[in-house]
């Protein structure tokens, strides 16, 4: 049941289904995760690399370092959300049990 926050026992006992607040929170984290990762890898990292080639000013390397560290921070925050989602929705356990 990949991609769902419901476990197989919910079909047997509807009282085990997550409440609407939990579903809303998970959906918000999914959206934030996708947005942060897309911005980091499609916009921020490429702009940092392109900026070094386009602009020739003194101390440009420090702008590049700060930009790339910021981009990495955004990507790591997005990855953290992805890990939280995988653990919270029990996808880690499902993935491991499928591999064994």
Domain residues for the domain of 93 are 19-99
Let me know if residue 63 belongs to a domain. Answer: yes
Let me know if residue 42 belongs to a domain. Answer: yes
> CA 95 to CA 8: how far, in whole Å?
15
Mean pLDDT by 10 residues, the chain (100 residues): 50 64 89 96 94 85 92 97 90 74
Let me know if residue 14 belongs to a domain. Answer: no
Let me know if residue 1 belongs to a domain. Answer: no
In sequence order, which residues have a C-beta less than 8 Å from that of residue 9 and are 6 or more positions away? 16
pLDDT of residue 1: 45
44, burial (CB in 10 Å: exposed 0-12, middle 13-18, buried 19+)? buried
Q: What is the pTM of this model?
A: 0.74
**The two structure tokens encoding residue 10:** 């919910």
Let me know if residue 5 belongs to a domain. Answer: no
How many structural domains compose the chain? 1
DSSP 55: -
Let me know if residue 47 belongs to a domain. Answer: yes
Let me know if residue 94 belongs to a domain. Answer: yes
In sequence order, which residues have a C-beta less than 8 Å from that of residue 33 and are 6 or more positions away? 78, 81, 82, 85
């Amino acid at each position: 049941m990949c991609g769902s926050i419901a476990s197989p026992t919910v079909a047997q006992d509807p009282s085990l289904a997550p409440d609407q607040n939990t579903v809303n929170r998970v959906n918000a984290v999914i959206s934030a995760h996708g947005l942060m990762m897309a911005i980091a890898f499609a916009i921020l990292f490429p702009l940092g690399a392109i900026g070094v080639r386009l602009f020739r000013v003194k101390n440009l390397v420090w702008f590049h370092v700060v930009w790339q560290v910021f981009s990495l921070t955004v990507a790591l925050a997005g990855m953290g959300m992805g890990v939280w989602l995988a653990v919270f929705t029990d996808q880690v356990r499902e993935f491991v049990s499928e591999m064994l």
